[in-house]
Chains A and B, each alone.
Chain A
Amino acid sequence: MHRLLLIVIACALTAGCAPKSTFVLLPDPNGQVGKIIITNSQGSQTLNQARQSVVIKSKTESPGKIKTMDEADIHSLFGKALDIQPLPPAKFLLYFKPESVQPKPESKAEIPKIMQAIKDRHSMDISVNGHTDRKGEADYNHELSFQRAKQVQQMLEKEGVDPSLITTTSHGKNNPLVPTADNVPEPRNRRVEVIVR
């Protein structure tokens, strides 16, 4: 009995025996603060301000009071996880003249930005997705969007990107950015989308 009591006291002092969960809300990568609702069978708490936190001590206790965690405590507890948090994927759109497989000059200027995004992320996963507008036959457009994607892929490879990291897809006229009736030319749909993860 005494031994059991001692163990219980030791647990209370170190807080190491029973599992507990701590939740902290941070601003989004774009600076906005979102909202999370922490619940279990005993109750719930809503966090909607930066660095608000709540602890649940066990599943038989309701979430505790909302507190604000200071930057230093966040850093000491979550620093290693935050340091390795991947950057959000970067997306780029390159545009083309009708029938052309060469990106417009202003779109060629995106290539260095794409290279920088690949470098920043140490990226191992780059998607190059070709599209056309809805003018013309499906088969022709499928081939055209394939050639557009291939062109951009080759431009990236020329800059030194490992070909095995690039996945190229061709969507033809099926996946317009701006919905139009069939057979309508639309410059914003003649595009290659590059996603760097």
Chain B
Amino acid sequence: MSRPADETLSLVVEREMPFPPEKLWRALTQPHLIEEWLMKNDFRPVVGHRFNLERTPRPDVNIVIDCEVRIVEPNKTLSYTWAAYGLESVVTWTLSPTGAGTRLRMEQSGFKPDQKQAYQGARHGWQQFFANLERILARSD
């Protein structure tokens, strides 16, 4: 077997939005807009920029996520690392124009910084695993 020894977890959420990619891009990259749908932040669309996402859902709970910008391709791809609670992951937004608007895809993949290559090959393994698991669980009910 030539698959990498260290595989990770990934999840994908996709939605078709009736708006042009340029508009989605603004919502994904302008700090005051990001705050409206995600969290407070000091984001800048500059590769290598480190920022925090922060939320205080209750007075005694403060959530802080450490991020670093990896990819900025205006109106197409935005990717940043996402580290919280011992899980290091990468969040990647992909915008694809459709006839009626934009298909927005968010993929969050767990990874280890020194094993980026393993991370590249990881997604299929986990998706396969969960697909298998779902079938098994469906049968055992």
A and B: real partners?
no
Q: Which residues of A approach B to under 8 Å, CB–CB?
A: none
B residues with a Cβ closer than 8 A to A are none
